[in-house]
Structure 1
């Protein structure tokens, strides 16, 4: 599925399923505010998530300890909340990357099919 950068490169259900991992990967290089995270997700092929889906996810990742948030003052106008990957978040991202890689490997080959499943169909 290909489309403009504002829409996901993959089916919407796939993008939704991987969004938490994608947010952690987007913040891995350094702190970002919500708008910056949305832009990073768009550049990575996830489309530009709406605030109504992104900010609750950021709050959940913060509550889980994967992200830390801090208010960054602005020289003009309101400050903004900046998100940083925590050590727990780095561990979670590493585990989720391994899990996604394992899933992709299974999808690439039927040689990884667990025993007994072919006869169960």
Structure 2
């Protein structure tokens, strides 16, 4: 049985890898393992050792703590809190593309877009 923390860490690995535009194969090569192992980490099937997580964090350019951000929320049933948002938003490719595009917009325009989205969501 998968441990919720292993699943959360794997999702964070996948999210960060996708955000930097890296394939599983590219990450595996940087870390010195096979891409199948990255797949197993990302699904939570295999636990990531401390030293391997260190290597992955360096390859993805984030501190090790990044992979544990939000771990408390991940171990509870988040979908029960807000049913309009999928429980695994980071697994949705369209949502990740939207986030990537959002952060490529200049900051002043991004803030205006954010305010527009907030107003539109309040109306809906």
Q: Sort the TM-score into its range (normalised by shorter chain).
A: 0.3 to 0.5
- Higher fraction of helix: 2
TM-score, normalized by length of structure 2? 0.33
Larger C-alpha radius of gyration, 1 or 2?
1
TM-score, normalized by length of structure 1? 0.34
- Higher fraction of strand: 1
Task: Report 1 or 2 for greater relative contact order, CA contacts < 8 Å, sequence distance ≥ 6.
Answer: 2
